[in-house]
Structure 1
Amino acid sequence: MRRITEIIVHCSATREGKYFTAEDIDRWHKAQGFACIGYHFVVRTDGRIEMGRSIERVGAHCKGHNGTSVGVCYVGGLSRDGQPQDTRTEEQRESMMMLIGVLKRMFPEARVHGHREFAAKACPCFDAAEEYK
């Protein structure tokens, strides 16, 4: 197993009210030349957690951090008119809190970060480090 020191939270940068799955994101990432979905977990708008890339495999979600991180993505992140916004549903909030708690127990060294800490993006449209400290 890889040594995991970071859990990096993302949004899918899709509009509020749109419903996508890990399979959809996998298709998008393959169209961009990825081998498969870059995230390890996807949290759908109804709170369902889907597996993406196997956790044993290096992700493709945050340049310079993929080798030692797990990528968690929630579906959403844009308002209905396309502006960055925390669009998480209550179900997503609950599922993400549970998932990140499990990951922190699995990888006690890991610190939680938002993608925006490492890239000039609004992603994930909320302060993940603060919320999951």
Structure 2
Amino acid sequence: MNAPPSLYKPTFRTATDLLVVHCSATRPTHDIGVKEITHWHVQRGFDTVGYHYVIRRNGTVETGRPETAVGAHVKGHNSRSIGICVAGGLDAGGKPANTFTAAQFAALGQLLDDLRKLYPDARILGHRDLSPDRNGDGVISPDEFIKACPSFDVAAWLSGRELAG
């Protein structure tokens, strides 16, 4: 039986090397936040929401797990990362697509700026960038992605904006 969120007892991270951007894999008309994702994650057997932050369609940043807690958002990297989920990531037909709003990108940029001040050595990347390098060439290419998440190239987006700090 799953513990209610009020009984959630986090395990705390001892280091933060990664800031990982995710998407909720929902259509543009589906505005969801921490409450809905917590429900989905509890149904999957998690104690609570796996992400530390969720950015709604209107750019509102909601807090999920405590920032100091180990997340449940990317297998093999949770103990050293913070997970940020941006609502959306699918087109109207259910295919992976960059369907995020300008408000979401602005909020994501500000959140990453704030987190980089706290964790200056942490790398920022998308969930898909943590897929295995199946051909061993040192590059995770699109044909190696386990999933499209977050449905945009985080490195390319970052190169188009200057991170503060």
TM-score using structure 2 length = 0.78
Equivalents in 1 of 2:84, 2:72: separation in Å? Answer: 11
Are 1:37 and 1:53, in contact at CA under 8 Å, matched by a contact in 2?
A: yes
Equivalents in 2 of 1:44, 1:113: separation in Å? Answer: 19
Q: Which has the higher contact order (CA 8 A, sep 6+)?
A: 1
Equivalents in 1 of 2:55, 2:158: separation in Å? Answer: 16
Structure 2, unaligned runs of 5 or more: 1-12, 132-145, 160-165
Match 2:115 to one of 77, 93, 103:
103
Give how far 1:117 is off: 1.1
Are 1:100 and 1:132, in contact at CA under 8 Å, matched by a contact in 2?
A: no
Structure 1, unaligned runs of 5 or more: none
> Secondary structure in 2 aligned to 1:132?
helix
Structure 2 partner of 1:11: 23
1:68 is aligned to 2:94: no
> Secondary structure in 1 aligned to 2:83?
strand
Q: How many residue pairs end up in the alignment?
A: 133
Structure 2 partner of 1:48: 60
Give how far 1:3 is off: 1.1
For 1:50, give the aligned amino acid: E
Q: CA RMSD in A?
A: 1.0
Give how far 1:79 is off: 0.2
Match 1:116 to one of 115, 118, 128:
128
Structure 1 partner of 2:45: 33
Q: Output one character per residue of 1:78-108: Cα deviation in whole Å (capped at 9) or x when no partner.
A: 0011010011101001000000111111100
> Secondary structure in 1 aligned to 2:42?
helix
> Secondary structure in 2 aligned to 1:101?
helix
Q: Which moved more, 1:117-126 or 1:65-74?
A: 117-126
CA radius of gyration, larger in:
2
Are 1:10 and 1:114, in contact at CA under 8 Å, matched by a contact in 2?
A: yes
Equivalents in 1 of 2:57, 2:114: separation in Å? Answer: 20
Percent identity between matched residues is: 41
> Secondary structure in 1 aligned to 2:19?
strand
Equivalents in 1 of 2:104, 2:158: separation in Å? Answer: 14
For 1:128, give the aligned amino acid: V
> Secondary structure in 1 aligned to 2:84?
strand
Give how far 1:121 is off: 0.4
Match 1:125 to one of 151, 154, 157:
151
Equivalents in 2 of 1:32, 1:111: separation in Å? Answer: 28
